[in-house]
Structure 1
Amino acid sequence: MLRHSTFDTPVGPFTVVATEAGAVRAAGFTTDVPELMRLIHPRLTAPVEADDDVGPVRDAVRDYLDGDLTALDAIVVEQYTRGEFMQHAWDVMREIKPGAPVTYTRYAELSGRPAAIRAAAAACARNAVALILPCHRVLRTDGTLGGYRWGLPVKEWLLKHEAGPAA
């Protein structure tokens, strides 16, 4: 059984879908649980019910929004892909530090395949656990925002939040 909970953030509602053990399988700036469920690989889907107890992620998101930009680092996520590169790229994505966004080119380099810029972009696009895996920290090669499933205003807010008060 999976559980979902939605809570308010400065940029709108944020919904988390997690296992009973608290591992996050989907997250995004939406209230549309069926939309989030479509992001989960079929191997990891299960019935889902509303439940405010989604494990430690609720407090971690609150702490992140209150300024502890590393609060999400310990949250367990579960995503599945057949591709070895994709899984590795998701692991690398977690290492991108707040306030230090990288371009798709740099992200591909960090992932060990400098020529795989499109594959790096695909890792961002297929990330089902927004915010926790910080795909918002990856920018177009020219340094502009590029796309974000939850909207560019959300991505821009997150990057400014992580850059600190001087931003």
Structure 2
Amino acid sequence: MTDTLYASTTDTPAGPLTVVAGPDGAVRAAGFTAEVEPLLTLVHPDLRGPVRTRPELGPVSDAVRRYLDGDLAAIDEVPVAQRTGGVFLPHAWQVLRGVKAGEPVTYTGFAELAGRPAAIRAAAAACARNAVALFVPCHRVVRTDGGLGGYRWGLEVKKWLLGHERR
């Protein structure tokens, strides 16, 4: 039986943030878009299901509001559910959750934190394949030269998030 997923969109200064969660409250997808469909394509097929829209997602929506209000650690304990066939990506995503707000790391530093210092491209791929933006904070990874690098939801969103977290 396929789980019913629940989606909610919150207005933020960086644009709409849509979160898709399972019935257990674990975030399965999140991104700076008002559209649910593009988010579902990021979710592993085993974690997909029919989606119902709700005005809010209880503790998840509460954590987003607190984060936006300045409690930058509010998103840290929100459960997430991502899946892939490999070993490195889930590990890298867990490592990303330990990167603190206001303390961005470089792609090289992220690879080192993940235990594979030579795997800079793999670290970048972990950011690119992250389905739960904000909760697994790939926006906190920047280029060695201080440039923003890439971000699925746009560099303006990444710039806003990093600025919000420098407070």
Name the TM tier (shorter chain).
over 0.9
SS at 1:90 equivalent: helix
Aligned with 1:110 (options 94, 108, 113): 113
- Whether 1:10 and 2:16 are equivalent positions in the alignment is no
> Scaled by the length of structure 1, what TM-score is found?
0.96
Residues 19, 54 of structure 1: 8 Å contact kept: no
The whole-number CA distance in structure 2 between the counterparts of 1:26 and 1:127 is 9
One-letter amino acid of the structure 2 residue matched with residue 132 of structure 1: F
C-alpha RMSD of matched pairs (Å): 0.8
Asked if 1:48 corresponds to 2:32, the answer is no
Match of residue 141 from structure 1: 144
Q: Structure 2 stretches of 5 or more lacking a match?
A: none
Q: Which runs of 5+ in 1 are unaligned?
A: none
Percent identity, please.
66
TM-score (structure 2 length as normaliser): 0.96
CA contact (8 A) 1:77 1:129 kept: yes
Matched, 1:34 2:68: no
Counterparts of 1:158 and 1:11, CA distance in 2 = 8
The answer as to 2:163 corresponding to 1:163 is no
Residue of structure 1 in register with 2:128 after alignment: 125
User: Tell me, what secondary structure is at the counterpart of 1:4?
Assistant: strand
Counterparts of 2:38 and 2:128, CA distance in 1: 14
Q: Deviations over 1:83-113 (max 9, x none)?
A: 1111100000000010000000000000000
Q: Distance in 1 between matches of 2:111 and 2:58?
A: 32
The CA distance in 2 between the partners of 1:42 and 1:61, in whole Å, is 26
Corresponding residue for 1:24? 27
How many pairs were matched up? 164
